C-alpha cells in the first residue's frame, strides 16, 4: 500500500477514533518528551509567561499537560482532562497562576507540538496534514473543558470573564480551521472587538519596509470602506505602532500630536488601543481597536486580552508562512521531477527518432533516385505515343510527392533528435519576426488569411541563436495558419517585463505572443500538445513534432512557452518568454 493510500486510510481511522496514526503520534510525542519540555519552557520565556513561577513547578505543569494530551491522543477519551483542571484549580485560587496564563500555556504547548510534527513530516505534505488535523482536534477538545473548568473554579470570576474565556477558546479553534490567512485574521479582528467591547478593529500586517502589506478591518461595512478610499499604509498613530512595536492606549485619538487625522467619510473615533503582533521576538504586525463601548477608554484588562489575541494572530501568520514555504518547496520539487522525467523521455525518443531517420533515409534516397530516372524515361516520345502509358507521368509525380513528404518527415525527426547547442548572439526580436513572417505571408494571402504584426515601441533584444529562433517562429506560424478555417487572422506582438527588484528568479523577460482566431484546442488536449508525435491534424498533415521542437528550443534559451485556448472554435494563443540580453532605445 503506497503512502497516499495509507494517509487516506489513517484519516478515516482518525474520524472513527482509532487508527495506527494515533499510536504512532503518541509514541513519537512520548519519545520527544524532554525535547518538547525544553522547547515549551523557551516558548514560555519568549512570551514572558514564566514570571515568578519556580522552574520545578513549571516542569511539573508541563508533565501533567503533556501526559494527559498523549493519553487523550492515544485513547480518544477526554474525561481525565477535568481532573487535570481540578488539580490546577488550587494554585489559581491562591493567585499564583491566572486563568490567562493557563490558556497561554496550553496554546504554547500546542504550538510546540505543531513545530515538532512539522519537522517530522515536512517531507510528506499529506501525512503532515493528517497528523496536524488529529493533534489539533485533540488539543481543541482538551483545551475547552480545561478552560471552562478553570473558569468555574474561580469563585470571583465574573460573567464577562467567562465569556472572554469562551471567545479565546473559539479564537484558538479558528487557527485550526482550514481557512485562508486573511479569513483567520478577519475572525481574530472580529473576536477582538467583541472581547474588549470595541466598535471598530483592524489587524495590520507589516511589509518589512516600514509600511503595511495587509489591513483587515472589523466593524466597518463595505459601503463605508469604498467611501473612505485606499487602506492606510502605516502613517500617523498606526506608524508609531509599526516602528515602536509596543502597546499604546489613548483616551482621545484626535488630541495626540502624532495623529494625522482621518480621510473623508471615515467614521469618528476617539478611544484607541493598539498592541503588537509578535512571535519569538519577530513583529508581524499590529492589532488596532477603537471606540470602547460603555467606557471612555480601554483598560489594562482590555490590553491583556488584546495581547493574548495578538499572540494567536502572530502564530497564524507565522504558520501560514511556514506552510506556504513548504508548499512552494513541494511544488518546485514536483516541477523538477516532472522536468527530469520529460527530459529522460525526450532523450529516449530522440535516440529512437535518430535511428529511424537514418534507417529510412537510405531507402528513401534510393526510391527518389529511381523515381527521377523513371520520370526521365517517361518523357520519351515512343512511350508518350502509347495510350497505355498516358497516366504514367502523373503517377510518377504522385510518387515523387509522397517520397518528398516522407523525406520531410525524416528531416523533422532528425531536427528533433539532434537538439544542437545554440550559438548565442544579440538578436532583435522584432526584426526576426518580420523576416519570419515574410516566409509565410504569401501562403496566407493566397488563402485569404491575414498576419498582423504589432511592432514593439522600442527594439527588444534577446541573447539567442537566430536560426533556432527563426525555426521556432516558423513552426508556430505554420501551426497557426493550419488552425485557421477559411479566412482568419494571426496577431503577433512583442513586449517585455522588467526584473523584480530583489528577486533573482524574476529576470527581465521578452514576451512574444502569437494569437489566432482559428479552430482552437480541446481542453483535454492542452496537457498533451508538447508530447512528441501527438497531433490533432488530419492524417498526412502533421507529424506531432513541431511543438516538442519549439519547447526544446525555448528551454535551451532558458525561457518558457505556454499555450492557451478556451476550447474548440475559440482560437489559440502561444506565449513565449525569453531572457532579455539588452534593450536599445531608438
Assess if residue 346 is contained within a domain.
no
β-pairing, 449-454 with 282-292? unpaired
Of the candidates 11, 33, 32, 31, the one whose C-alpha atom is nearest the C-alpha of residue 134 is 11
Residue 40 domain-assigned (yes or no): yes
CB 217 within 8 A of CB 202: yes
Decide which of 178, 211, 240 is a domain's last residue.
178
pLDDT for 478: 86
The order of strands in the sheet holding 282-292 is 212-218, 198-206, 282-292, 272-279, 248-250
Q: For residue 335, what is its C-alpha cell?
A: 516541477
The residue among 146, 163, 178 that closes a domain is: 178
Residue with cell 511539573: 60
Measured CA to CA, the distance from residue 114 to residue 69 in angstroms comes to: 13
What integer pLDDT is reported at residue 90 of this predicted model?
42
Which three three-digit cell numbers place residue 471?
525555426
> What ranges make up the beta strands (E) of 384-516?
425-428, 449-454, 460-464, 488-497, 509-516
Angle between helices 20-31 and 125-153 (to 10 degrees): 70
Helix axes 181-196, 300-378, angle to 10 degrees: 170
Taking residue 164's Cβ as centre, other Cβ atoms within 10 Å add up to 23
Q: Which residue has the cell 489559440?
A: 572
Q: For residues 179 and 517, what is the distance between their CA atoms, to the nearest angstrom?
A: 41
Q: Is residue 60 part of a domain?
A: yes
Residue 301 cell numbers, joined: 484588562
Nearest to 409 by CA among 368, 471, 356: 356
Task: Please choose, from the candidates 440, 523, 520, 446, the residue with its C-alpha nearest in 3D space to the C-alpha of residue 484.
Answer: 520
What's the pLDDT at 267?
86
Estimate the crossing angle of helix 300-378 against helix 125-153, to 10 degrees.
170
Residue at which a domain ends, from 143, 178, 213: 178
Kindly tell me the burial class for residue 561, based on how many C-beta atoms sit within 10 Å of its own C-beta (0-12, 13-18, 19 or more).
Answer: buried
Is the Cα dihedral 191, 195, 196, 200 positive or negative? positive
Instruction: Count the helices and strands in the chain (H runs, E runs).
Output: 17, 12
CATH number of the domain that 26 lies in?
Answer: 1.10.490
Q: Is residue 80 part of a domain?
A: yes
Looking at residue 512, its pLDDT comes to: 92
Q: Residue-wise pLDDT tens for the chain (586 aa)?
A: 454 445 444 444 444 344 678 888 888 888 888 988 888 888 777 776 666 667 777 778 778 778 888 888 888 777 766 566 555 544 433 334 555 666 677 777 778 888 888 888 888 878 888 888 888 787 777 766 666 655 555 544 445 554 554 555 455 544 555 456 777 778 878 888 888 889 999 888 877 776 777 888 888 888 888 888 876 766 777 777 777 778 889 888 888 878 777 778 888 888 999 888 887 777 788 888 999 988 888 988 888 888 887 887 787 777 777 777 777 787 877 777 766 666 666 666 656 666 666 667 778 778 878 888 887 777 777 776 777 777 777 888 888 887 877 777 666 666 655 566 777 889 999 899 988 888 888 888 888 888 999 988 888 899 888 888 888 888 888 888 888 877 789 999 998 877 654 444 556 889 999 999 888 888 888 888 877 767 766 655 556 667 887 888 888 888 999 999 988 888 999 999 998 876 444 3
Give tens-digit pLDDT for 24-63.
888 888 888 898 888 888 877 777 666 666 777 777 877 8
Task: Give the number of domains in the chain.
Answer: 2
Q: Is the pTM of this model over 0.95?
A: no
460 found inside a domain: yes
Does any domain span residue 280?
A: no
What CATH number is attached to the domain comprising 536?
A: 3.30.565.10
**128 belongs to a structural domain:** yes
Give the domain extent around 104: 1-178
Report pLDDT for 492: 92
Half-sphere exposure of 94 (CA within 13 A, CB side): 5
Asked, for residue 110, whether it belongs to a domain, the answer is yes
pLDDT of residue 91: 42
C-beta neighbour count of 441 within 10 angstroms: 16
What distance in Å separates the CA atoms of residue 25 and residue 128, rounded to the nearest whole number? 11
Amino acid at each position: 500500500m503506497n503512502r497516499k493510500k495509507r494517509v487516506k486510510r489513517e484519516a478515516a481511522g482518525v474520524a472513527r477514533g482509532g487508527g495506527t496514526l494515533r499510536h504512532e503520534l503518541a509514541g513519537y510525542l512520548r519519545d520527544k518528551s524532554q525535547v518538547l519540555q525544553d522547547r515549551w519552557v523557551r516558548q514560555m520565556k519568549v512570551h514572558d509567561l514564566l514570571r515568578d513561577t519556580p522552574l520545578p513547578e513549571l516542569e511539573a505543569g508541563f508533565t501533567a499537560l503533556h501526559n494527559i494530551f498523549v493519553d487523550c491522543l492515544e485513547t480518544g477519551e477526554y474525561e481525565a482532562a477535568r481532573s487535570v483542571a481540578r488539580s490546577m484549580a488550587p494554585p489559581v485560587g491562591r493567585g499564583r497562576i491566572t486563568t490567562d496564563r493557563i490558556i497561554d500555556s496550553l496554546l504554547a504547548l500546542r504550538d510546540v507540538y505543531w513545530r515538532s510534527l512539522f519537522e517530522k513530516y515536512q517531507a510528506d505534505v499529506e501525512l503532515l496534514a493528517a497528523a496536524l488535523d488529529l493533534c489539533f482536534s485533540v488539543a481543541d477538545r482538551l483545551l475547552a473543558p480545561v478552560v471552562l473548568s478553570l473558569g468555574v473554579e474561580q469563585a470571583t470570576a465574573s460573567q464577562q470573564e467567562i465569556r472572554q474565556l469562551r471567545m479565546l477558546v473559539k479564537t484558538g479553534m479558528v487557527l485550526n480551521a482550514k481557512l485562508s490567512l486573511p479569513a483567520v485574521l478577519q475572525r481574530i479582528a472580529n473576536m477582538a472587538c467583541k472581547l474588549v467591547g470595541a466598535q471598530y478593529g483592524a489587524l495590520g500586517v507589516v511589509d518589512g519596509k516600514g509600511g503595511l502589506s495587509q489591513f483587515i478591518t472589523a466593524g466597518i461595512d463595505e459601503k463605508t470602506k469604498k467611501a473612505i478610499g485606499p487602506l492606510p499604509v502605516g502613517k500617523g498613530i498606526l506608524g508609531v505602532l509599526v516602528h515602536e512595536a509596543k502597546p499604546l492606549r489613548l483616551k482621545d485619538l484626535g488630541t495626540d500630536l502624532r495623529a494625522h487625522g482621518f480621510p473623508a467619510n471615515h467614521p469618528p473615533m476617539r478611544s484607541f488601543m493598539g498592541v503588537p503582533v509578535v512571535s519569538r521576538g519577530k513583529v508581524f504586525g499590529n492589532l488596532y481597536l477603537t471606540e470602547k463601548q460603555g467606557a471612555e477608554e480601554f483598560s489594562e484588562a482590555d490590553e491583556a486580552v488584546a495581547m493574548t489575541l495578538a499572540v494567536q494572530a502572530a502564530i497564524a501568520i507565522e504558520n501560514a508562512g511556514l506552510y506556504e514555504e513548504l508548499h512552494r518547496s513541494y511544488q518546485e520539487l514536483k516541477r523538477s521531477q516532472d522536468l527530469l522525467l520529460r527530459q529522460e523521455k525526450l532523450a529516449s525518443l530522440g535516440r529512437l527518432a535518430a535511428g529511424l531517420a537514418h534507417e529510412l533515409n537510405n531507402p528513401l534516397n534510393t526510391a527518389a533516385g529511381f523515381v527521377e530516372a523513371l520520370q526521365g524515361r517517361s518523357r520519351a516520345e515512343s512511350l508518350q505515343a502509347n495510350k497505355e502509358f498516358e497516366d504514367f507521368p502523373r503517377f510518377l509525380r504522385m510518387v515523387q510527392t509522397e517520397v518528398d513528404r516522407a523525406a520531410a518527415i525524416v528531416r523533422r525527426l532528425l531536427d528533433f533528435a539532434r537538439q544542437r547547442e545554440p550559438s548565442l548572439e544579440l538578436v532583435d526580436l522584432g526584426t526576426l519576426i518580420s523576416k519570419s513572417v515574410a516566409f509565410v505571408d504569401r501562403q496566407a494571402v493566397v488563402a485569404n488569411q491575414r498576419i498582423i504584426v504589432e511592432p514593439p515601441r522600442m527594439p527588444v533584444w534577446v541573447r539567442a541563436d537566430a536560426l533556432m529562433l527563426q525555426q521556432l517562429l516558423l513552426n508556430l506560424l505554420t501551426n497557426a495558419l493550419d488552425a485557421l478555417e477559411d479566412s482568419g487572422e494571426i496577431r503577433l506582438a512583442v513586449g517585455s517585463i522588467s526584473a523584480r527588484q530583489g528577486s533573482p528568479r524574476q529576470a527581465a523577460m521578452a514576451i512574444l505572443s502569437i494569437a489566432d482566431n482559428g479552430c482552437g484546442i480541446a481542453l483535454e488536449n492542452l496537457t498533451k500538445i508538447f508530447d512528441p508525435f501527438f497531433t490533432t491534424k488530419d492524417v498526412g498533415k502533421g507529424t506531432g513534432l513541431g511543438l516538442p521542437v519549439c519547447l526544446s528550443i525555448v528551454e535551451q534559451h532558458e525561457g518558457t512557452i505556454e499555450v492557451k485556448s478556451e476550447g474548440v472554435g475559440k482560437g489559440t494563443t502561444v506565449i513565449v518568454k525569453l531572457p532579455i540580453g539588452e534593450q536599445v532605445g531608438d
